[in-house]
Amino acid sequence: MPRSCQARCGGTANPPGPAGPRRNPVAGRRCRARTWPVVPALLPDLAPWRTSPDFRALWWAGAVATLGRGFTAVTLPFQLAQLTGSPLAVGLIGVVQLVPLALFGLVGGALADAVDQRRLVLWAEAGLACVAGLLVVNAVLPVPLVWPLYAAAALSSALTGLQQPAMSALVPRVVAHGQLSAAAAWSALRWQLGAVLGPSLAGLVVAWADIGTAYAVNLLGCGLALLLARRLSPSPARPGARRVSPRGIAEGAGYAWRRKELLGTYLVDLAVTFFAFPMALFPFLAEDLGATWALGLMYAALPAGSAVVSLTSGWTARVHRHGRAVVWAALGTGAATAGAGWAAGSGLLWPVLLLLAVAGGFDMVSGVFRHTLWDQSVPDALRGRLAGIELLSYAGGPQLGQVRAGTMADLTSVRASVWAGGLLCVGAVGLLVLCLPRLLGYDARTDRYARAVREERAAGA
């Protein structure tokens, strides 16, 4: 046996016997098992898929629904622009969507802790199907109306706010505790695939068919998602669950405030989405680079980088210091965004696209460990309300970030807004670490909250 194999396997070569050299079968197996350690370490962990039919049903229902809603996300502002010709009218969609999503996200979080989460997901999806039907009917009118578009945007945001906390809270119920990192990566991949494929296919359908057909695809997706979600097992509220009330919502907010490492994850996410995601500037950045044809590539770069991380996420299960991983990944997101802004000054497109993809990949790493920290350390009785609070950062950060990016670009330049936003993200995350040091110190193996959740799940099993 070569010395390198002896060192790796901890064995020694056997002396030759009468029939020639003898092999150490155990050592040989160990060597072969370690020949290609990198490949399985990178591949996504399939354990949640293999062991949980409920997770498979939840994943497919969410993937189909997200894909369908991607059609509406592109088609609705396109139709509104055709009907009004007003950029302001199109921009108001963001305001119409933000308020219901934030308000009903809190209510949906409280409901997720108080009622059967499966039923809440089904009823919300049925409501979203009705909204999609409203858009189809309006699209086939001889003269489509404008107000149903705003009504549909508000209603769909409200229903998403009701549904999303329940879907997030379901994951720890249907996946083993040790598989939550893998489940978070798979859940993130589901959203990224929908974010890339939905809008891309919607543009083709609108161009080659019509607006009504694009809305009909969303309606079909809602119906299929309903059928898939019906396969979920019942998920009733825990005994003694608090009824929906302002006091119950405040209890969830108070819990998040007391747990500084949990609060840190919310604030880090806000800092990243506020400073480091300048999607509103992509049309202007493409024009500055003389590559308006690559605008779609810019929008696709962030989710493409995220998808690469999701597809190579096998290593995440071996990380236990989730707070530290969240911080380093957030710093990487800011640094990559700043690099993209600087690279734009060279006039070259491909470095910008590459760095945007790197930023998306770092953001995915941060997201995987944020969700793992939440899922492994938040008690089941509060999980819905905490998911509702998470939805606030998800809803508010990107919208406010576009305002930040546009305002700074007006005051300076497009490129300066991009690279300065990345540097401000790095500074904000660093400041949060100084103010909330418990985030860096979080370790899932020793944290008392994570240990309590493990004991709770073991007792329930």
Condensed to tens digits (0 to 9), the pLDDT of residues 362-395 reads 999 998 899 889 888 888 888 888 888 888 777 7
Whether pLDDT at 453 is above 60: yes
At which residue do the structure tokens 């859940």 appear? 187
- pLDDT bin (cut points 50, 70, 90) of residue 13 is very low
Torsion angle, CA of 440/442/445/451, rounded to 10 degrees? 180
For residue 189, what are the CA distances in angstroms to 279, 318, 368, 383? Answer: 20, 19, 10, 22
User: Contact, 61 vs 128, CB < 8 A?
Assistant: no
Residue 260 CB contacts under 8 Å (≥ 6 apart), including other chains: 436, 438, 439
**53-244: CATH topology:** Growth Hormone; Chain: A; (1.20.1250)
Residue 148 has pLDDT above 90, yes or no: yes
Separation CA 461–CA 456 (nearest Å)? 9
Domains 53-244 and 245-461 alike in fold = yes
pLDDT at 39: 53
Domain locations in the chain as residue ranges: 1-30, 53-244, 245-461
| pLDDT of res. 16 | 47
Q: For residue 173, what pLDDT is reported?
A: 86
Mean pLDDT within 321-349 = 93
C-alpha of 61 from chain center:
16
Task: Give the pLDDT confidence of 233-278 residue by residue, as tens digits.
Answer: 988 877 766 777 788 888 888 988 899 998 999 999 999 999 998 8
Q: What does the chain come to in residues? A: 461
Quick check: 303 and 195 in contact, CB under 8 A?
yes
Cβ proximity of 266 and 256 under 8 Å: yes
Q: Among 373, 455, 445, which residue's Cα sits nearest to residue 181?
A: 373
pTM of the model: 0.76
User: Where residue 141 falls among pLDDT bands split at 50, 70, 90?
Assistant: very high
Query: 343 is written with which tokens?
Result: 């690279």
The pLDDT of residue 273: 92
Backbone angles phi, psi at 378, to 5 degrees: -95, 125
Q: Are 76 and 149 in contact (CB under 8 A)?
A: yes
Q: Is the pLDDT of residue 189 over 70?
A: yes
Which residues lie across from 20 on neighbouring strands?
17
pLDDT score at 122? 95
Q: Which fold has domain 245-461?
A: Growth Hormone; Chain: A; (1.20.1250)
Mean pLDDT of 431-458: 88
CA distance 321 to 97: 36
Do 161 and 389 form a contact (C-beta atoms < 8 A)? no
Task: Report which of 286, 47, 331 is spatially closest to residue 183, judged by C-alpha positions.
Answer: 47
Mean pLDDT of the chain: 83
* Phi and psi, residue 14, nearest 5°: -75, 145
| Higher per-residue pLDDT: 356 or 185 | 356
Helix (H) or strand (E) holding 312: none
Average pLDDT over every residue of 415-433: 95
What tens digit of pLDDT does each residue of 80-138 get?
A: 888 888 767 777 787 788 889 888 988 888 888 888 989 999 999 999 999 999 999 99
